[in-house]
Amino acid sequence: MSEPRHLRSRAEEEAARLPPLLARAEHLAGTVLLGDHGRRRSGLGDDFWQYRPVQPGDPRRWIDWRRSARGDDRFVREKEWQIAQSVMLWVDQAASMRFSSTDKLPQKGDRARLLALATAILLVRGGERVGLTGTLLPPRRGQNQILRLAEFFSVEDSADYGVPEHRAMIPNARALFVSDFLADPAEVKLALTKAADRGVRGVLMQVLDPSEEAFPFQGRTIFESVGGSLLHETLKAGDLKTRYQQRLAERKDELQALCHATGWQFTTHHTSDSAQSALLWIYRAMDRGTS
């Protein structure tokens, strides 16, 4: 008896989280203007392409009466064809993403979901198909896909560090991986090489908390991962700062090199920075991949 009720209350709780996420994602997506995505030929789209004379079979409502009134011939207004792409998203849902150093900053996972969903909204608006990596949610277009994405994004992973899903990559598609990439880099390497094999190119976005970058700790400390699987004790945390930062830089370099080799793009985003600039960057980067 209690099980379904419990499930339902949790589901409602989760569902209640969706609208704000969606709204914020919509809001964020609204700040980016569509454009630069045309296919340079006539077809379905928003931008004007050309006027052509009416041919038999054209419905009357297609006729552009303003243009036609200038002469005896009737014209149809054609628009530029905007082709649809498949874009696969992977957002790290692992425990390590559920971290923020202060109450004022959002959790890393929160920011990652927001960015991914906003990108998805933009892409769907642009007529692309968006889905998740793996077989869970294949790319589709339409508003419902956004809802489904949001639903999947709110499912949390119990693993301590997330690894990218590399199965069932659609050839020649685009991909967006958002994570903190603190897990074993071998997995990322595997996924990226596999993707490169299939002609999939995309973007790696590393989301980090400012404290992970600055390491502002002092004194005797036991560090533990969010999931609790890893422990490290130090007597003087201040001394570890330079060595930690060195390791972090190495990790970034490694990822950068990997991206370079596979034709992907890499950036690091901090939760203390504005989400909008990150979204813009993602959008431009995705666009660069498609055109």
Partner 1 sequence: MMLGPIGFAAPWLLLALAALPLLWILLRAVPPAPIRRRFPGVALLLGLKDDEAVSDRTPWWLLLLRMLAVAAVIVGLAGPVLNPQQQGRTGSGPLLILLDGSWASSRDWSERADLVDGLLAEAGREGRTAAVVRLTTPEAPVFQSADVWRTRLPGLAPQAWEPREDAVQGFIESLGTEGFETYWMSDGLDRASRDPLLAALEDHGAVTVHEGSRPVFALRPATFEDGAVRLTALRALPGPEREVMVEAHGRDPSGQMRLLSIEPATFAPGETTASVEMDLPAELRGRLSHFEIAGARTAGAVAATDDSLRRREVALIAGREDREGLELLSPLHYLHQALEPNADLLEGALMDILPANPDVVALADVATLSDAETEALETWVEGGGILLRFAGPRLAASEVSRAEEDPLMPVRLRSGGRNVGGAMSWGEPKTLAPFDEDSPFWGLEVPGDVTISSQVMAQPDPTLAARVIARLSDGTPLVTRKDLGDGQVVLFHISANAEWSSLPLSGLFVQMLERLSISSSATAPAPEDLEGTTWQPVRLVEANGTLSNAGTLPGVDGAVLLSDPLGADLRPGVYEGEDRRIARNVMGAESTIAPAAWPASVPVEGLARPEETPLGGYLLALALALLMADILASLALSGRLTGARPRATGAAVVLLALALALPAAPIRAQEVEDTTEDAAPAADARAIEATRELVLAHVMTGNRQIDDTAQAGLRGLSDTLFFRTSVEPAEPMGVNLETDELAFFPFLYWPITPDQPTPSAAAYAKLNRYLRSGGMILFDTRDADVARYGAASPEGRKLQQLAAPLDVPPLEPVPSDHVLTRTFYLLQDFPGRYAGGQVWVEAAPADAELIDGMPFRNLNDGVSPVVIGGNDWASAWAVDTSGAPLYPVGRGYAGERQREIAYRFGVNLIMHVLTGNYKSDQVHVPALLDRLGQ
> What are the residues binding partner 1 (CB under 8 A)?
96-97, 99, 101-103, 108, 161, 180, 182-183, 209, 211-212, 215-226, 230-240, 243-244, 247-248, 251
Comparing CB distances to partner 1, the nearer of 26 and 213 is 213
Comparing CB distances to partner 1, the nearer of 46 and 250 is 250
Comparing CB distances to partner 1, the nearer of 76 and 226 is 226
List the strands of the sheet with 129-132, edge to edge: 129-132, 86-91, 174-179, 201-208, 265-270
CB of 285 to partner 1, least distance (A): 25
Comparing CB distances to partner 1, the nearer of 211 and 276 is 211
Residue type, 42: S
CB of 208 to partner 1, least distance (A): 9
Comparing CB distances to partner 1, the nearer of 161 and 283 is 161
CB of 238 to partner 1, least distance (A): 8
CB of 260 to partner 1, least distance (A): 22
Q: Are 216 and 106 in contact (CB under 8 A)?
A: no
In the numeric block, which tokens belong to residue 122? 């933009």
CB of 226 to partner 1, least distance (A): 5
Q: Looking at residue 31, what DSSP letter applies? A: T
**Residue 249: burial class (beta carbons within 10 Å; 0-12, 13-18, 19+):** exposed
Q: Are 283 and 32 in contact (CB under 8 A)?
A: yes
Dist CA 162 CA 94 (whole Å): 5
